[in-house]
């Protein structure tokens, strides 16, 4: 992968297929640190039970490896125990996207020891949201309400007696903006955002002073649009002179997410026939990379090389229907240029597998490529 990163592209033996890589792709610093700390925990506590709250990262292969190394899961498909089963001797790993304040308190009450791998970029969002709460400003979080990171961030607001509302789309943002400006049907509002606001949240009371934050892995352009639209609604409602007392904003997209989006932006300027985006199907940052590709050329979001059954069939994630689609004749004959990128939770070996598989499908020897 180091060689591929340096060269940025690889060509098949018959020179009929060129694979171009984005300049930045794959594991981010937060995920690398998280996995390093999990390995370190096994060494430091060889005789103690080690648990992890949920998926270490959004990649099934990596989670299976962690489980096979003896780390026990407290949620998800690999779950073997509940927090209620834990005691003072147990070690608990907190994943890179952090956890909710109430979960942390519960673990503390049980006397568990933590290996806290929460990414610093996630903690900076928490700080921002806590400050909003202290100033009695409601946090409007651009993110996915069910995502572990957003749940953890939301809990930071309520831990300081603040309120939050999570918006995912521009359509939802416009609905909130209209409510800020003109009021509306409170019951309808609460039903529309069910599960995405704090207990006791009242849109008539809690949208008078708002601060925008975001899940670290959102699309920057969309997050900026969310804040622009909310600021404009506040301006129309309270007047430009009073914006500062009713509106706050802080860009909390993390550096790694931004670098991967920027690098894909550059790659998409080049003439290419199709794009492969590699990553776990529940990975938010990978989904955004796929979304960027979809707007430009045929894009296939795959979790590993096995999804490329052969040149006539590829299985790939459709993030709009939440299902795996099958596309026939996805790898046309003739000279092809294929772009490849990967999300922040995708390990190098899966990216290498995909590149080797592409070469194989075109009759090139991946072994020869790897030994060069």
Interface ranges with ligand SF4 (CB under 6 A): 28-31, 96, 119, 121-122, 216-217, 254, 256-257, 285, 344
User: Least distance in Å: CB of 30 to ligand SF4?
Assistant: 2
Task: Give the E-state strand segments of the chain in sequence order.
Answer: 9-11, 17-21, 50-52, 72-73, 91-94, 113-116, 138-142, 164-167, 210-214, 247-249, 274-278, 299-302, 308-310, 313-318, 323-328, 336-342
Between 26 and 293, name the residue whose CB sits nearer to ligand SF4. Answer: 26
Closest CA to 213 of 154, 141, 157, 162: 141
User: Least distance in Å: CB of 13 to ligand SF4?
Assistant: 36
Q: Cα angle at 60 between 262 and 95, to 5 degrees?
A: 75
Closest CA to 194 of 166, 163, 170: 166
Q: Are 159 and 100 in contact (CB under 8 A)?
A: no
User: Least distance in Å: CB of 250 to ligand SF4?
Assistant: 15
How far is it, in rounded angstroms, from Cα 214 to Cα 230? 13
Q: Are 350 and 342 in contact (CB under 8 A)?
A: yes
Q: At what angle do helices 220-238 and 170-182 cross, to 10 degrees?
A: 10
Q: What is the DSSP letter of 234?
A: H
Between 126 and 330, name the residue whose CB sits nearer to ligand SF4. Answer: 126
How far is it, in rounded angstroms, from Cα 4 to Cα 293? 21
How far is it, in rounded angstroms, from Cα 163 to Cα 151? 13
Catalytic residue among 55, 100, 148, 149: 149
Q: Which pairing describes strands 164-167 and 138-142: parallel, antiparallel, or unpaired? A: parallel
Between 96 and 340, name the residue whose CB sits nearer to ligand SF4. Answer: 96
User: Least distance in Å: CB of 345 to ligand SF4?
Assistant: 8
318 bridge partner residues: 323
How far is it, in rounded angstroms, from Cα 172 to Cα 178? 10
User: Least distance in Å: CB of 241 to ligand SF4?
Assistant: 36
Task: Give the E-state strand segments of 130-209 in sequence order.
Answer: 138-142, 164-167
Element spanning 293, H or E: helix 284-294
Q: What is the DSSP letter of 147?
A: S
294 is catalytic: no
Between 227 and 257, name the residue whose CB sits nearer to ligand SF4. Answer: 257
CA dihedral (87, 88, 94, 98) positive or negative: positive
Between 119 and 276, name the residue whose CB sits nearer to ligand SF4. Answer: 119
User: Least distance in Å: CB of 62 to ligand SF4?
Assistant: 13
Q: Which residue is nearest to ligand SF4 (CB)?
A: 30
User: Least distance in Å: CB of 74 to ligand SF4?
Assistant: 20
Between 31 and 234, name the residue whose CB sits nearer to ligand SF4. Answer: 31
Buried b (16+ CB within 10 A) or exposed e, 98-111: bbbbebbeebeeee
Q: Which residues are catalytic?
A: 149
């Amino acid at each position: 992968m180091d060689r591929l990163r340096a060269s940025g592209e690889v060509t098949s033996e018959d020179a009929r297929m060129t694979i171009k890589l984005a300049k930045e792709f794959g594991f981010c610093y937060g995920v690398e640190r998280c996995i390093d700390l999990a390995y370190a925990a096994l060494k430091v506590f060889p005789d103690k039970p080690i648990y992890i709250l949920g998926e270490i990262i959004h990649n099934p292969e990596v989670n299976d490896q962690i489980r096979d190394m003896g780390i026990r899961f407290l949620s998800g498909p690999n779950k073997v125990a509940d927090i209620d089963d834990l005691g003072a001797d147990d070690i608990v790993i907190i994943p890179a996207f952090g956890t909710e304040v109430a979960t942390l308190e519960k673990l503390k009450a049980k006397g568990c020891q933590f290996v806290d791998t929460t990414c610093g970029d996630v903690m900076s969002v928490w700080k921002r949201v806590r400050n909003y709460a202290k100033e009695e400003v409601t946090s409007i979080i651009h993110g996915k309400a069910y995502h572990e990171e957003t749940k953890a961030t939301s809990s930071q607001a309520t831990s300081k007696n603040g309120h939050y509302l999570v918006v995912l789309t521009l359509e939802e943002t416009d609905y909130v903006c209209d409510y800020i400006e003109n009021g509306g049907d409170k019951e309808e509002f609460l039903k529309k955002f069910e599960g995405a606001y704090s207990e006791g949240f009242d849109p008539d009371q809690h949208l008078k002073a708002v601060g925008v934050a975001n899940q670290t892995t959102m699309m920057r352009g969309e997050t900026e649009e969310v804040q622009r639209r909310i600021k404009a609604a506040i301006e129309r409602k309270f007047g430009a002179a009073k914006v500062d007392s009713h509106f706050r904003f802080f860009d909390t997209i993390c550096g790694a997410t931004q670098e991967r989006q920027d690098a894909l932006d550059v790659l998409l300027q080049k003439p290419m026939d199709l794009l492969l985006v590699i990553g776990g199907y529940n990975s938010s940052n990978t989904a955004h990379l796929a979304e960027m590709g979809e707007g430009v050329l045929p894009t296939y979001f795959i979790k590993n090389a096995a999804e490329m059954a052969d040149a006539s069939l590829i299985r790939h994630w459709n993030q709009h229907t939440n299902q795996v689609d099958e596309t026939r004749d996805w790898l046309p004959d003739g000279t092809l240029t294929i772009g490849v990128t990967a999300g922040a939770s995708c390990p190098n070996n899966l990216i290498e597998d995909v590149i080797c598989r592409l070469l194989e499908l075109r009759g090139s020897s991946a072994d020869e490529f790897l030994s060069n």
